Amino acid sequence: MLVLALITLVLHGALTGLFYAFSMSVMPGLNAIDPAQAESAMRSVNQKIQNVWLFLVFIGSPLAALVSGFLADGMAATWFFAAAGVNFVGSFLVTVAINVPMNNALDAGTMAFKDYSPRWTAFNTLRTVACAAGLVLVGLGLTAL
């Protein structure tokens, strides 16, 4: 159980860090260059980020928290279930419902970068906060084991 809980912690930390890096460095960096170049760069990022490592942390975080919740007892289970729920809603659902459709619109050329960047970054920051909250909840679950 402890090993799975630690894996859950690492997955949540990695996902939090990924989203954080985009909001605090990648998007401001893209905002500082020509919009056509920024669009091109973001299209490339959106294509290259879809790999096994992203899916491992993106899908693995809420699933590992859920499994940890089923294997834990008492308050530890509650914390892990809460982490799974916060991650699922704040990361998975926001990504699927908002960020990915915006990525698709940017890729299709139906959304300009000047419209894309502030909205995408705001929702990415929401994902960051949700993942950080999930990370804290996993930590609480670990302390309750």
| Gap between the Cα atoms of 53 and 48, Å rounded | 11
pLDDT digits 0-9 by tens, 12-33:
999 999 999 999 999 999 999 9
Task: Write out pLDDT tens, residues 111-128.
Answer: 999 999 999 999 999 999
Q: What is the pTM of this model?
A: 0.94
Looking at residue 90, what is its pLDDT? 98
Q: Please write the tens of the pLDDT for every residue from 75-112.
A: 999 999 999 999 999 999 999 999 999 999 999 999 99
Query: How much is the pLDDT for 121?
Result: 98
Give how far Cα 129 sits from Cα of 23, 40, 88, 96, Å. Answer: 11, 27, 13, 17
Q: How many CA atoms, within 13 angstroms, populate the side-chain half-sphere of residue 53?
A: 4
74: nearest Cα among 141, 124, 17, 137? 141
Q: What is the pLDDT of residue 30?
A: 98
